[in-house]
Amino acid sequence: MTQVLVLAEHDGKTVRKATLNTVAAAQKVGGDIHVLVAGHDCAAAAKAAAQIAGVAKVLHADAPHLKDELAENVAAVVVAIAKQFSHILAPATSHGKNVLPRAAALLDCQQISEIIAVESPDTFVRPIYAGNALATVKSADPIKVITVRTTAFDAVAASGGAAAVESVAAPADSGLSSFVGREVAKSERPELTSARAVVSGGRGMGSGDNFKILEPLADGLKAAMGASRAAVDAGFVPNDWQVGQTGKIVAPELYVAVGISGAIQHLAGMKDSRVIVAINKDEEAPIFQVADYGIVGDLFKIVPTLVEELKK
Amino acid sequence: MKVMVAVKRVVDFNVKVRVKGDGTGVETANVKMSMNPFDEIALEEAVRLKEAGVATEILAVSCGPVACQETLRTALAIGADRAILVQTDVELQPLAVAKLLKSVISKEQPKLVVMGKQAIDDDSNQTGQMLAALLGWSQATFASKVKIAGEGAEVTREVDGGLETLSVKLPAVVTTDLRLNEPRYVTLPNIMKAKKKPLETLTPDALGVDVTPRLAILKVVEPPKRKAGVKVADAKALVDKLRNEAKVI
Ligand SMILES: Cc1cc2nc3c(=O)[nH]c(=O)nc-3n(C[C@H](O)[C@H](O)[C@H](O)COP(=O)(O)OP(=O)(O)OC[C@H]3O[C@@H](n4cnc5c(N)ncnc54)[C@H](O)[C@@H]3O)c2cc1C
Ligand SMILES: Nc1ncnc2c1ncn2[C@@H]1O[C@H](COP(=O)(O)O)[C@@H](O)[C@H]1O
């Protein structure tokens, strides 16, 4: 029987959008969908999960040692309830990637990472080689353990559902690791992976200060801000802005690449955007091979005029 | 403290990979191969721990065909003291690699295992987490800073919302993110020295590990290609296109 578990991504009070994309992937698999909300003092998040369209049941594991959702303890919860499921899905976020392979190994299952399509309940499509090839893979494991590329599945509605919430016991604290602290980058902007538009800067920006000229552009487009690895490495902007093979995968309606050459590792993270704009002074830059609209020229001249034009 | 580093031989990150005509995989014949970039970072971290007097011995391990010896020689040139090749021609998937590494670890007893967060060929991002699970060890993935302190390590991790710091008990598995360090270049004298360092070969059979793939690869295809668009003269023309043609603003 097909019964799918989705590991929710939440902040204790609300459920993050990545969960909705993952439930969408679960619907493609078929069967009953259960959502696991593991954390501490996260009853509100469990309630929110129960509203998600298409969810049959919410499993709520609440314990002090689940507070910071450490991989060892969350994987233990997943493993404890795994046997009733044919599929276990998590979004391919830093959290899902951290926890799910640990659970998969304990279940002796070979995880299928970052699927972009469900062909059948045991067959999935996933990108390999930075998205330069797509592999169709068939799993022989009794439980299919899967992370989901969120940009490949349209989110289900956050409301409309009325699932029952059931408490599940959490296995004891592993005691293996403990949480020390967190530096959260605060921003008023939309979240990078779910924004409708993204404005990214690269090494061509020259400095962190110069990124300020992208802000009015992002304001005008109601966009999130991103960056190439080179810009992050140079310390211009925080690490969680990185778009690419080893950073975040985005697929907004509009992606604006400013001073980014378009290395394959960067393209891997944004080439599924609907409309791509590139601004680069080098007309040979590979970014122009994927851009719908390109402007060749000095970004320091073009960006301010673009901001003005958008206001008109 | 003994530190083990897992290194994978992959198609070099600069190669534009091509899908094979028969759809069975990507072309790897006559293609430049290198150490997975994240594993270079893992090795660099281990070497720095040794230079700081924290690590006493660095063991590099690779699993795969005999050609992985080359990758291990590079590891030895960067600063590993010894190397082990677990040799097999079977296509290895992360769970199998984790099992092989676990078996090596039960003999070698390292205090710390450092590996890449992701191999740039299969882009799985699984093996470190799986290894930690099989060993019952703590894990710290996507590390951008590692500080060893007594029986534990404090690790800063790159996560979606920013940075997170964990304190993990040793032994532990740490997987590296790009900003952990900048790997050094190998020098000719060190390449010469590496030739004399010990490289041992084992097999999955000898380790008692079944490496049969769990995932069957049914086909590999090229992704749909984007067609290059148009160049526009200036910002005004761009806004016009975005408004009236793409209708995205
Ligand atoms: C294992 C691995 C993983 C990686 N993962 C990622 C990843 O996830 N994401 C990622 O982005 N990269 C990644 N990279 C790095 C990638 O290979 C490139 O090095 C990087 O994307 C280059 O960033 P860039 O385009 O900003 O810099 P550059 O390649 O230096 O390009 C800068 C561009 O700015 C233009 N420019 C300069 N000044 C101006 C100006 N005044 N006006 C207009 N244009 C200007 C230049 O013409 C140039 O095209 C990875 C690399 C490795 C090895
Ligand atoms: N065949 C292998 N031999 C040695 N190490 C490996 C192998 N496969 C994966 N690894 C290690 O596991 C990390 C993550 O790989 P993956 O889970 O395949 O993305 C790599 O960066 C290596 O450190």
Q: What is the pLDDT of residues A25-61, one digit of tens each?
A: 999 999 999 999 999 999 999 999 999 999 999 999 9
Output the average pLDDT for chain A: 97
* Total CB pairs under 8 A between chain A and B: 261
In this prediction, residue A148 carries a pLDDT of 98
Low-confidence ranges of chain B (pLDDT < 70): none
Nearest-atom number in ligand 2 for the CA of B42 is 23
Question: How many angstroms does the Cα of residue A150 sit away from the middle of ligand 1?
Answer: 24
Nearest residue by C-alpha to atom 15 in ligand 1: A229
Q: Strand A197-201's sheet: what is its strand order? A: A224-227, A197-201, A254-258, A275-280, A293-296, B230-231
Window 115-144 of B: residues touching A by CB (8 A cutoff) are 117-118, 120-134, 137-142, 144
Window 186-245 of B: residues touching A by CB (8 A cutoff) are 213-223, 226, 228-236, 238-239, 241-242
Reading phi first (left if > 0) and then psi (alpha if -120 to 50, else beta), residue B224 is in beta
Please check the confidence at residue A185 and state whether its pLDDT lies above 80.
no
* B223–A238 CB contact, under 8 Å: no
Peptide bond into B213 cis (omega under 30): no
**pLDDT tens, A272-295?**
999 999 999 999 999 999 999 999
In this prediction, residue A131 carries a pLDDT of 95
Top mutation candidate among B5, B7, B8, B105 for ligand 2, by most atoms within 8 Å of CB? B8
Nearest residue by C-alpha to atom 31 in ligand 1: A261
Strands B215-221 and A133-139: antiparallel
Distance of CA A273 to the CA centre of its chain: 14
Does B40 contact A at CB distance below 8 Å?
no
Distance CA A307, CA B25 (A): 45
Distance CA A112, CA A100 (A): 10
* B129–A248 CB contact, under 8 Å: no
CA distances from A248 to A99, A191, A269 (A): 17, 11, 6
**C-beta of residue A206 within 8 angstroms of C-beta of residue A234:** no
**pLDDT tens, B181-204?**
999 999 999 999 999 999 999 999
In this complex, the residue of B121, B137, B249 whose CB is nearest that of residue A221 is B249
In this prediction, residue A186 carries a pLDDT of 81
Find residue B62's DSSP bridge partners. Answer: B85
ipTM above 0.90, yes or no: yes
A204 lines ligand 1 (CB under 6 A): yes
- Cβ neighbours of B178 in A, within 8 Å: 229, 233, 246
In this prediction, residue A300 carries a pLDDT of 98
Does A281 contact B at CB distance below 8 Å?
no
Six-digit token pair at B176?
């590296």
Predicted confidence band of residue A256 (pLDDT cuts 50, 70, 90): very high
**pLDDT tens, A104-126?**
999 999 999 999 999 999 999 99
Element holding B51 (H helix, E strand): helix B37-51
Nearest residue by C-alpha to atom 27 in ligand 1: A203
In this prediction, residue A1 carries a pLDDT of 83
What is the reported pTM? 0.96
Distance CA B233, CA B216 (A): 49
Question: How many angstroms does the Cα of residue B118 sit away from the middle of ligand 2?
Answer: 7
Distance CA B241, CA B74 (A): 51
In this complex, the residue of B16, B137, B215 whose CB is nearest that of residue A264 is B16
CA distances from B71 to A15, A167, B167 (A): 44, 49, 32
**C-beta of residue A42 within 8 angstroms of C-beta of residue A11:** no
